[in-house]
Amino acid sequence: MRAMQLKAPAPIEQKPLQLVELPDPEPGRGEIRLAVKVCGLCHTDLHITEGELTPHQPHIVPGHQIVGVVDHCGAGVSHFKPGDRAGVPWLYHTDQTCHYCRKGTENLCEHARFTGYDVNGGYAQYHIVPEDFAYHLPEGFEDVQAAPLLCAGVIGFRALRLAEVKPGSRVGLYGFGASAHICIQVAHHWGCEVYAFSRGQQHRDLALKLGAKWAGVSGGDLAVKMDSSIIFAPAGGLVIEALKTLDKGGTLALAGIYMSQIPPIDYNLIYGERTIRSVANSTRQDAIDLLNLAAEIPIHTEVELFELERLNEALGRLKDGSIIGAAAVRIA
Protein backbone atom coordinates (compact mmCIF):
# COMPACT_ATOMS: atom_id res chain seq x y z
CA MET A 1 0.00 0.00 0.00
CA ARG A 2 1.05 3.62 -0.55
CA ALA A 3 1.62 5.62 2.64
CA MET A 4 3.26 8.82 3.85
CA GLN A 5 5.75 7.71 6.50
CA LEU A 6 7.75 9.78 8.98
CA LYS A 7 11.35 8.68 8.76
CA ALA A 8 12.55 11.10 11.45
CA PRO A 9 10.95 14.22 13.00
CA ALA A 10 12.06 17.47 11.38
CA PRO A 11 10.62 20.88 10.48
CA ILE A 12 7.87 20.42 7.92
CA GLU A 13 9.78 22.70 5.53
CA GLN A 14 12.32 19.85 5.21
CA LYS A 15 9.57 17.49 3.96
CA PRO A 16 10.13 14.74 6.58
CA LEU A 17 7.15 12.66 5.40
CA GLN A 18 8.06 10.31 2.55
CA LEU A 19 5.84 8.41 0.13
CA VAL A 20 6.60 4.70 0.57
CA GLU A 21 5.20 1.26 -0.25
CA LEU A 22 4.29 -0.84 2.80
CA PRO A 23 2.75 -4.31 3.08
CA ASP A 24 -1.04 -4.34 3.09
CA PRO A 25 -2.10 -4.88 6.74
CA GLU A 26 -4.43 -7.73 7.70
CA PRO A 27 -7.09 -7.42 10.43
CA GLY A 28 -6.94 -9.64 13.51
CA ARG A 29 -9.77 -10.82 15.68
CA GLY A 30 -12.25 -8.02 16.41
CA GLU A 31 -10.59 -5.72 13.87
CA ILE A 32 -11.71 -4.23 10.58
CA ARG A 33 -9.67 -3.01 7.63
CA LEU A 34 -10.63 0.24 5.94
CA ALA A 35 -9.81 1.17 2.39
CA VAL A 36 -9.08 4.80 3.25
CA LYS A 37 -10.78 7.43 1.12
CA VAL A 38 -9.71 10.64 2.88
CA CYS A 39 -7.87 11.62 6.05
CA GLY A 40 -8.19 15.01 7.70
CA LEU A 41 -5.20 17.11 8.77
CA CYS A 42 -4.70 18.01 12.43
CA HIS A 43 -2.17 20.13 14.31
CA THR A 44 -1.33 16.97 16.28
CA ASP A 45 0.04 15.46 13.05
CA LEU A 46 2.23 18.53 12.66
CA HIS A 47 3.46 18.33 16.28
CA ILE A 48 4.37 14.64 15.77
CA THR A 49 6.06 15.30 12.42
CA GLU A 50 8.15 18.16 13.79
CA GLY A 51 9.02 16.34 17.03
CA GLU A 52 7.18 18.56 19.51
CA LEU A 53 5.39 15.32 20.38
CA THR A 54 7.86 12.43 20.27
CA PRO A 55 6.43 9.62 18.09
CA HIS A 56 5.72 6.49 20.09
CA GLN A 57 6.69 4.30 17.13
CA PRO A 58 9.61 4.71 14.70
CA HIS A 59 8.68 5.34 11.08
CA ILE A 60 5.08 6.06 12.02
CA VAL A 61 2.36 6.83 9.47
CA PRO A 62 0.42 9.76 11.01
CA GLY A 63 -3.21 10.70 10.45
CA HIS A 64 -6.26 10.21 12.66
CA GLN A 65 -9.34 11.68 10.98
CA ILE A 66 -9.92 8.69 8.77
CA VAL A 67 -12.90 8.05 6.50
CA GLY A 68 -12.98 4.82 4.54
CA VAL A 69 -14.94 1.76 3.50
CA VAL A 70 -14.65 -1.58 5.29
CA ASP A 71 -13.12 -4.07 2.86
CA HIS A 72 -12.15 -6.89 5.22
CA CYS A 73 -13.30 -8.02 8.68
CA GLY A 74 -11.39 -10.11 11.18
CA ALA A 75 -12.94 -12.98 13.11
CA GLY A 76 -15.62 -12.04 15.62
CA VAL A 77 -16.54 -8.68 14.08
CA SER A 78 -20.26 -7.99 14.54
CA HIS A 79 -20.82 -4.22 14.17
CA PHE A 80 -19.44 -3.77 10.63
CA LYS A 81 -19.53 -5.62 7.35
CA PRO A 82 -17.67 -5.15 4.06
CA GLY A 83 -19.01 -2.13 2.22
CA ASP A 84 -19.87 -0.14 5.35
CA ARG A 85 -18.49 3.39 5.60
CA ALA A 86 -16.60 4.03 8.82
CA GLY A 87 -14.60 6.74 10.56
CA VAL A 88 -11.61 6.47 12.90
CA PRO A 89 -10.53 9.25 15.31
CA TRP A 90 -7.51 9.83 17.59
CA LEU A 91 -8.50 7.34 20.33
CA TYR A 92 -7.53 3.89 19.02
CA HIS A 93 -7.77 1.64 22.07
CA THR A 94 -8.21 1.71 25.86
CA ASP A 95 -7.76 -1.10 28.35
CA GLN A 96 -11.23 -0.71 29.99
CA THR A 97 -9.75 -1.93 33.29
CA CYS A 98 -7.72 0.97 34.72
CA HIS A 99 -9.03 3.45 37.29
CA TYR A 100 -9.85 6.05 34.63
CA CYS A 101 -11.71 3.68 32.32
CA ARG A 102 -13.76 2.29 35.18
CA LYS A 103 -14.97 5.76 36.19
CA GLY A 104 -15.92 6.78 32.64
CA THR A 105 -12.85 8.83 31.68
CA GLU A 106 -11.26 6.47 29.17
CA ASN A 107 -9.65 9.48 27.48
CA LEU A 108 -7.22 9.43 30.44
CA CYS A 109 -6.58 5.65 30.24
CA GLU A 110 -3.14 4.66 31.52
CA HIS A 111 -2.63 2.34 28.55
CA ALA A 112 -4.46 4.23 25.81
CA ARG A 113 -3.18 3.95 22.26
CA PHE A 114 -3.69 6.62 19.64
CA THR A 115 -4.15 6.53 15.87
CA GLY A 116 -1.14 7.77 13.91
CA TYR A 117 0.93 7.94 17.12
CA ASP A 118 1.07 4.45 18.65
CA VAL A 119 -0.13 2.66 15.50
CA ASN A 120 0.01 3.59 11.83
CA GLY A 121 -2.68 6.06 10.90
CA GLY A 122 -4.69 7.23 7.94
CA TYR A 123 -2.17 8.73 5.55
CA ALA A 124 -2.18 5.36 3.80
CA GLN A 125 -4.36 3.25 1.52
CA TYR A 126 -5.41 0.88 4.31
CA HIS A 127 -5.97 1.16 8.04
CA ILE A 128 -6.63 -1.50 10.69
CA VAL A 129 -8.73 -0.60 13.75
CA PRO A 130 -10.59 -2.48 16.52
CA GLU A 131 -14.26 -2.35 15.55
CA ASP A 132 -15.17 -0.92 18.98
CA PHE A 133 -13.12 2.20 18.17
CA ALA A 134 -14.57 2.86 14.72
CA TYR A 135 -17.82 4.70 13.98
CA HIS A 136 -20.63 4.55 11.49
CA LEU A 137 -20.81 8.01 9.92
CA PRO A 138 -24.01 10.01 9.43
CA GLU A 139 -25.57 9.99 5.99
CA GLY A 140 -25.55 13.34 4.25
CA PHE A 141 -21.86 13.99 4.82
CA GLU A 142 -19.54 13.33 1.89
CA ASP A 143 -16.25 11.70 2.86
CA VAL A 144 -14.30 14.96 2.67
CA GLN A 145 -16.82 16.82 4.83
CA ALA A 146 -17.00 14.00 7.39
CA ALA A 147 -13.25 13.75 8.04
CA PRO A 148 -12.84 16.92 10.18
CA LEU A 149 -15.67 15.81 12.46
CA LEU A 150 -13.53 12.93 13.74
CA CYS A 151 -11.00 15.05 15.66
CA ALA A 152 -11.53 18.76 15.06
CA GLY A 153 -15.22 18.24 15.71
CA VAL A 154 -14.94 15.78 18.59
CA ILE A 155 -12.26 17.76 20.45
CA GLY A 156 -14.13 21.02 19.90
CA PHE A 157 -17.30 19.40 21.25
CA ARG A 158 -15.48 18.05 24.33
CA ALA A 159 -13.89 21.47 24.83
CA LEU A 160 -17.35 23.08 24.85
CA ARG A 161 -18.39 20.60 27.53
CA LEU A 162 -15.29 21.12 29.67
CA ALA A 163 -15.57 24.90 29.29
CA GLU A 164 -19.02 24.47 30.85
CA VAL A 165 -20.74 26.26 28.00
CA LYS A 166 -24.42 26.78 28.72
CA PRO A 167 -27.15 27.56 26.18
CA GLY A 168 -27.34 31.30 25.63
CA SER A 169 -23.95 32.03 27.24
CA ARG A 170 -21.13 34.17 25.86
CA VAL A 171 -18.23 32.12 24.44
CA GLY A 172 -14.73 33.16 23.32
CA LEU A 173 -12.81 31.07 20.76
CA TYR A 174 -9.07 31.72 20.41
CA GLY A 175 -7.59 30.49 17.14
CA PHE A 176 -10.10 29.95 14.37
CA GLY A 177 -9.04 26.82 12.52
CA ALA A 178 -10.59 23.40 11.93
CA SER A 179 -11.89 22.84 15.47
CA ALA A 180 -13.22 26.34 16.02
CA HIS A 181 -15.08 26.45 12.70
CA ILE A 182 -17.05 23.36 13.82
CA CYS A 183 -17.27 24.41 17.46
CA ILE A 184 -18.92 27.72 16.57
CA GLN A 185 -21.70 25.88 14.74
CA VAL A 186 -22.47 23.82 17.84
CA ALA A 187 -22.38 26.92 20.07
CA HIS A 188 -24.63 28.80 17.66
CA HIS A 189 -27.04 25.84 17.69
CA TRP A 190 -27.16 26.21 21.49
CA GLY A 191 -28.02 29.90 21.18
CA CYS A 192 -24.63 31.15 22.40
CA GLU A 193 -23.07 34.49 21.57
CA VAL A 194 -19.62 33.74 20.12
CA TYR A 195 -16.56 35.99 19.99
CA ALA A 196 -13.71 34.80 17.73
CA PHE A 197 -10.08 35.84 18.29
CA SER A 198 -7.70 35.29 15.38
CA ARG A 199 -4.70 37.00 13.77
CA GLY A 200 -5.86 36.18 10.24
CA GLN A 201 -8.44 38.32 8.47
CA GLN A 202 -9.72 35.37 6.41
CA HIS A 203 -10.22 33.34 9.59
CA ARG A 204 -12.13 36.23 11.16
CA ASP A 205 -14.24 36.57 8.02
CA LEU A 206 -15.13 32.86 8.23
CA ALA A 207 -16.08 33.27 11.91
CA LEU A 208 -18.45 36.10 11.06
CA LYS A 209 -19.90 34.10 8.17
CA LEU A 210 -20.59 31.25 10.61
CA GLY A 211 -22.43 33.50 13.04
CA ALA A 212 -19.85 35.08 15.36
CA LYS A 213 -21.10 38.17 17.18
CA TRP A 214 -17.62 39.69 16.89
CA ALA A 215 -14.27 38.72 15.40
CA GLY A 216 -10.93 40.42 16.02
CA VAL A 217 -7.46 40.03 17.46
CA SER A 218 -6.75 39.28 21.10
CA GLY A 219 -5.28 41.90 23.38
CA GLY A 220 -7.83 44.65 22.91
CA ASP A 221 -10.33 45.90 25.45
CA LEU A 222 -13.75 44.35 24.94
CA ALA A 223 -16.81 45.87 26.52
CA VAL A 224 -18.06 42.40 27.47
CA LYS A 225 -16.72 39.41 29.40
CA MET A 226 -16.85 35.75 28.36
CA ASP A 227 -18.71 33.14 30.40
CA SER A 228 -16.53 30.45 28.82
CA SER A 229 -13.53 30.48 26.50
CA ILE A 230 -11.58 27.88 24.55
CA ILE A 231 -8.02 28.21 23.27
CA PHE A 232 -7.35 26.13 20.15
CA ALA A 233 -4.07 27.79 19.12
CA PRO A 234 -0.92 26.21 20.67
CA ALA A 235 0.26 29.58 22.01
CA GLY A 236 0.69 29.77 25.79
CA GLY A 237 0.59 33.55 25.80
CA LEU A 238 -3.09 33.43 24.84
CA VAL A 239 -3.90 32.07 28.30
CA ILE A 240 -3.17 35.51 29.77
CA GLU A 241 -5.23 37.28 27.11
CA ALA A 242 -8.16 34.89 27.53
CA LEU A 243 -8.18 35.29 31.31
CA LYS A 244 -8.37 39.07 30.91
CA THR A 245 -11.68 38.70 29.09
CA LEU A 246 -13.10 35.86 31.24
CA ASP A 247 -15.88 36.78 33.63
CA LYS A 248 -15.98 35.78 37.30
CA GLY A 249 -16.90 32.13 37.69
CA GLY A 250 -15.96 31.49 34.07
CA THR A 251 -14.02 28.53 32.68
CA LEU A 252 -11.13 28.56 30.22
CA ALA A 253 -10.48 25.28 28.36
CA LEU A 254 -7.14 24.60 26.65
CA ALA A 255 -7.99 22.35 23.72
CA GLY A 256 -4.56 21.57 22.28
CA ILE A 257 -2.45 18.46 22.88
CA TYR A 258 0.61 20.75 22.80
CA MET A 259 1.09 24.36 23.88
CA SER A 260 4.09 26.65 24.16
CA GLN A 261 5.07 27.81 27.63
CA ILE A 262 2.42 29.72 29.56
CA PRO A 263 3.76 33.00 31.04
CA PRO A 264 3.49 33.67 34.80
CA ILE A 265 -0.12 34.38 35.77
CA ASP A 266 -1.06 37.24 38.07
CA TYR A 267 -3.34 35.78 40.73
CA ASN A 268 -5.85 38.57 40.12
CA LEU A 269 -6.52 37.07 36.68
CA ILE A 270 -7.87 33.85 38.20
CA TYR A 271 -9.33 35.31 41.39
CA GLY A 272 -13.10 35.38 41.29
CA GLU A 273 -13.40 31.60 40.93
CA ARG A 274 -12.17 31.48 37.35
CA THR A 275 -11.12 28.00 36.23
CA ILE A 276 -8.42 26.85 33.79
CA ARG A 277 -8.54 23.25 32.57
CA SER A 278 -6.99 21.22 29.78
CA VAL A 279 -8.80 19.02 27.29
CA ALA A 280 -7.08 15.64 27.00
CA ASN A 281 -8.13 13.45 24.09
CA SER A 282 -11.81 12.37 23.99
CA THR A 283 -14.02 9.43 24.83
CA ARG A 284 -15.99 7.22 22.48
CA GLN A 285 -19.17 8.77 23.84
CA ASP A 286 -17.90 12.22 22.84
CA ALA A 287 -17.51 10.95 19.27
CA ILE A 288 -20.96 9.36 19.22
CA ASP A 289 -22.63 12.48 20.62
CA LEU A 290 -20.84 14.82 18.21
CA LEU A 291 -21.64 12.72 15.14
CA ASN A 292 -25.31 12.61 16.13
CA LEU A 293 -25.37 16.35 16.75
CA ALA A 294 -23.55 17.05 13.47
CA ALA A 295 -26.37 15.35 11.60
CA GLU A 296 -29.02 17.18 13.63
CA ILE A 297 -27.68 20.72 13.11
CA PRO A 298 -26.41 19.88 10.36
CA ILE A 299 -22.78 20.99 10.58
CA HIS A 300 -21.06 22.17 7.41
CA THR A 301 -17.29 21.82 7.19
CA GLU A 302 -15.07 24.00 5.02
CA VAL A 303 -12.35 21.67 3.71
CA GLU A 304 -9.39 22.23 1.40
CA LEU A 305 -8.44 18.96 -0.28
CA PHE A 306 -4.92 17.81 -1.18
CA GLU A 307 -3.48 14.71 -2.82
CA LEU A 308 -1.61 12.31 -0.53
CA GLU A 309 1.81 13.05 -1.99
CA ARG A 310 1.32 16.75 -1.16
CA LEU A 311 0.97 16.04 2.57
CA ASN A 312 4.18 17.90 3.52
CA GLU A 313 2.94 20.96 1.64
CA ALA A 314 -0.50 20.68 3.24
CA LEU A 315 0.96 20.49 6.77
CA GLY A 316 3.17 23.45 5.92
CA ARG A 317 0.05 25.40 5.01
CA LEU A 318 -1.49 24.31 8.31
CA LYS A 319 1.61 25.58 10.12
CA ASP A 320 1.60 29.02 8.50
CA GLY A 321 -2.12 29.46 9.10
CA SER A 322 -3.16 29.71 5.46
CA ILE A 323 -5.73 26.87 5.65
CA ILE A 324 -9.18 28.41 6.01
CA GLY A 325 -11.39 25.98 7.90
CA ALA A 326 -10.06 22.42 7.68
CA ALA A 327 -7.92 20.37 5.30
CA ALA A 328 -7.76 16.74 4.21
CA VAL A 329 -5.80 14.50 1.86
CA ARG A 330 -7.40 12.19 -0.67
CA ILE A 331 -6.06 8.66 -0.77
CA ALA A 332 -5.96 7.29 -4.31
CB 170 within 8 A of CB 229: no
Spell out a b/e string for 148-174, using b for 16 or more CB atoms within 10 Å of the CB, else e.
Answer: bbbbbbbbbbbbbebbebeeebbbbbb
Mean pLDDT of each 10-residue bin along the chain, 332 residues long: 97 98 98 98 97 93 98 98 98 97 97 98 98 96 98 98 98 98 98 97 98 94 94 97 98 97 97 98 98 98 98 98 97 84
* Residue 28: per-residue pLDDT: 98
* Residue 220: per-residue pLDDT: 81
Distance CA 276, CA 169 (A): 18
**Hey, what domains does the chain have and what are their CATH numbers?**
2-152+282-330 (3.90.180.10), 153-278 (3.40.50.720)
The model's pTM: 0.95
Taking each helix axis as running N to C, give the angle between helix 152-162 and helix 178-189, from 0 to 180 degrees, rounded to the nearest 10.
50
CB 165 within 8 A of CB 228: yes
* Residue 48: per-residue pLDDT: 97
